[in-house]
Amino acid sequence: MTRDALLSVRDLSASVDEKTILHHVDLDVAPGEVHVLMGPNGAGKSTLGHVAMGDPTYTVTGGSIVFDGNDITELSTDKRSRAGLFLSFQAPVEIPGVPLSSFLRSTLDERPDMKMKNKQFRKTIKELACELNMDQAYLDRELGVGFSGGEKKKVEMLQLLLLKPKLAILDETDSGLDVDALSVVSQGMDAYRERCDGTLLIITHNTRILEHLDVDRVHVMVRGHIVAEGDASMISDIDENGFEQFIGADDASEAHE
């Protein structure tokens, strides 16, 4: 593990339905940094986010995940969340019958250090909704039901600002967003960074969402291998030349396995 890393993934391999998706992945994210995981569709980027969060759909077949100094490789998803990990979904789920405000309330109740009295809770979520240009009536609607793609992403930004995690993994948060919704999501990320000194791992294949962020490190994944890493200058290079330049680099990775 790299010294002072908040998240340290080491030699991580993972599979689903006996098919290996991730191959010996190494990745370190230091506190307060913004990292970007890029690559073509189907590269395994989202899988890495879900495996880091403990999604039981996937089986870790090798390696380790250390978060905030503790090995969480075997921890359940809820325990990882309480430890300070947050994952936004590429396609946020809908939960009929559960009002958004009730969902947020129960989430906070699971965290003794974040419990609020009802009056303070309602005041806080209304302020956050207003900040994110979100209709406050949505707080009393069923979670995700009938929400547009942009509204669902706003809900995730609201959760991010409410929970203040140590590390937020944002999986294709810009997917399907129009310009206005993308602006709100960017605003939410900025607020998280400023108020919480937040750490971000942004999973994307589109560079639009990165335009107003100070990115510390870029990682490129192809067919479940990390094939390239570098500073923020890689983003403009990928914008200009695409991912074709990295295709085949994973063959070299496999040769060393």
pLDDT at 255: 47
Is residue 49 within a helix (H) or strand (E), and if so which, with residue range? helix 45-53
pLDDT at 251: 57
pLDDT at 61: 97
The tens digit of pLDDT for each residue in 233-245 reads 999 999 888 888 8
Separation of alpha carbons 110 and 231, rounded Å: 38
The tens digit of pLDDT for each residue in 10-29 reads 999 999 998 999 999 999 99
| Contact (CB, 8 A) for 163 and 80 | no
Written as one string, the DSSP assignment of 84-146 is TEEEE-SS---EEEEEHHHHHHHHHHT-GGG---HHHHHHHHHHHHHHTT--GGGGGSEETTT
- Higher-scoring residue by pLDDT: 209, 85: 85
List the strands of the sheet with 199-203, edge to edge.
Answer: 85-88, 167-171, 199-203, 34-38, 217-222, 225-230
Highest mean pLDDT among 109-123, 177-191, 216-230 belongs to 216-230
- Residue 230 corresponds to which amino acid? G
The dihedral built from the CA positions of residue 142, 145, 147 and 153, taken in this order, carries a sign that is positive
- Higher-scoring residue by pLDDT: 245, 127: 127
Instruction: Map residue 55 onto helix, strand or coil.
Output: coil
The mean per-residue pLDDT over the stretch 51-79 comes to 97
The mean per-residue pLDDT over the stretch 134-140 comes to 88
The tens digit of pLDDT for each residue in 172-216 reads 877 767 777 788 788 889 899 998 889 999 998 777 778 778 899
Residue 254 pLDDT > 60, yes or no? Answer: no
The mean per-residue pLDDT over the stretch 91-109 comes to 87
pLDDT at 176: 67
Separation of alpha carbons 36 and 234, rounded Å: 10
| Contact (CB, 8 A) for 207 and 39 | no
pLDDT at 205: 78
Arithmetic mean of pLDDT over the chain: 89
- Higher-scoring residue by pLDDT: 37, 113: 37
| Contact (CB, 8 A) for 224 and 43 | yes
Separation of alpha carbons 52 and 57, rounded Å: 12
Separation of alpha carbons 191 and 63, rounded Å: 34
What are the CA-CA distances from residue 129 to residues 81, 122, 155, 188 (Å)?
Answer: 22, 11, 8, 11
Please report the domains of the chain, with CATH numbers, ordered by start residue. Answer: 7-92+167-255 (3.40.50.300)
